[in-house]
């Protein structure tokens, strides 16, 4: 009896050891490069391999670099505007798709998956040719339109499951209780699908902020986003100011995630 218990304990211990080791290796693979980036953002030298001393100079120079600051501002504006518009259009589309019959819904969803499955370079070149054909000047307008285009499917895929979970009689019940069609929509339907709307907006914001390929083909000379500016710098040599900026963005996102998950347990 004791022998069997010892064998089970040893097997469980070994299994936990290998599982924890594997998880540790994966986390190191993911976060070790970020740790190196953060460390060398405080390096006195521009070298990315030799440590010469601690300094905050690159952070001070970052806020004096008008090119980086302007591109960061452009990125935020384009990401926020395109995400809001894509969220509105995608939410309305998800509600409309849910009301279709089975075969039409399947066809529409197949079309919705195309921008996600399609390689970004194809989407970028296609949008570039479309804007050129329509004679739209490349700049903020083309960037926002392009970002709205590839963000809408992500919003639909986040909102549609929430729409399917709504009781089909809930809207009718609100109407019977005195709500008008518009009031019932905003007071009943929207609160029910709000988690999907928020998830779609955040996903759109993330993809829009991070996009390079489509932005590269649809941007203008005065509307460069941060990924495009960083790419242009890599042709020469990446400045440690980029390390400083990446560190600030990473820490900001980390703080937001910690605050979002740090919730006091609710009392029953």
**Owning domain of residue 70:** 66-242
- List, in order, residues 6 or more apart from 127 with CB less than 8 Å away: 142, 145, 146, 149, 214, 217, 218
Whether residue 209 lies inside any domain: the answer is yes
pLDDT in tens, 55-108: 888 888 888 888 888 888 999 999 999 999 999 999 999 988 888 888 888 888
Whether residue 11 lies inside any domain: the answer is no
CATH of the domain at 154: 1.10.3720.10
State mean pLDDT over 131-158: 91
pLDDT in tens, 23-58: 888 888 888 888 888 888 888 877 777 777 888 888
Q: Which residue has the higher pLDDT, 158 or 22?
A: 158
Whether residue 14 lies inside any domain: the answer is no
Distance CA 229, CA 208 (A): 15
pTM of the predicted model as reported, rounded to 2 decimal places: 0.80
Q: Where are the alpha helices (DSSP H) in 65-189?
A: 66-98, 102-117, 120-133, 140-165, 170-176, 181-184
What is the model's pLDDT at position 266? 47
Whether residue 131 lies inside any domain: the answer is yes
The domain total for the chain is: 1
Separation in Å, CA 137 to CA 21, 141, 174: 54, 8, 47
Whether residue 59 lies inside any domain: the answer is no
What is the model's pLDDT at position 127? 92
Cβ contact 214:122 at 8 Å? no
Structure tokens at 42: 């405080």
> How confident is residue 113, by pLDDT bands cut at 50, 70 and 90?
confident
């Amino acid at each position: 009896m004791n022998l069997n218990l010892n064998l089970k304990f040893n097997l469980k211990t070994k299994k936990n050891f290998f599982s924890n080791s594997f998880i540790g290796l994966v986390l190191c693979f993911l976060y070790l490069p970020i740790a190196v980036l953060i460390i060398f953002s405080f390096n006195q030298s521009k070298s990315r391999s030799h440590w010469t001393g601690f300094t905050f100079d690159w952070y001070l120079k970052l806020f004096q670099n008008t090119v980086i600051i302007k591109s960061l501002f452009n990125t935020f504006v384009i990401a926020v505007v395109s995400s809001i518009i894509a969220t509105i259009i995608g939410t309305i589309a998800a509600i409309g798709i849910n009301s279709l019959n089975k075969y039409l819904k399947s066809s529409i969803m197949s079309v919705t998956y195309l921008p996600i499955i399609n390689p970004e370079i194809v989407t970028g070149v296609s949008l570039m040719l479309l804007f050129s054909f329509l004679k739209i000047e490349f700049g903020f307008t083309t960037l926002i339109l392009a970002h709205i285009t590839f963000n809408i499917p992500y919003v639909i895929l986040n909102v549609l499951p929430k729409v399917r979970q709504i009781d089909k009689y809930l809207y009718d019940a609100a109407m019977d209780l005195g709500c008008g069609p518009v009031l019932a929509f905003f007071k009943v339907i929207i609160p029910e699908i709000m988690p999907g709307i928020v998830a779609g907006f955040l996903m759109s914001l993330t993809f829009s902020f991070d996009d390079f390929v489509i932005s590269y083909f649809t941007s203008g000379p005065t509307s460069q986003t941060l990924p495009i500016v960083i790419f242009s710098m890599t042709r020469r040599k990446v400045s440690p100011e980029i390390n400083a900026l990446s560190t600030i963005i990473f820490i900001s996102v980390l703080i937001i995630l910690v605050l979002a998950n740090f919730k006091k347990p609710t009392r029953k």
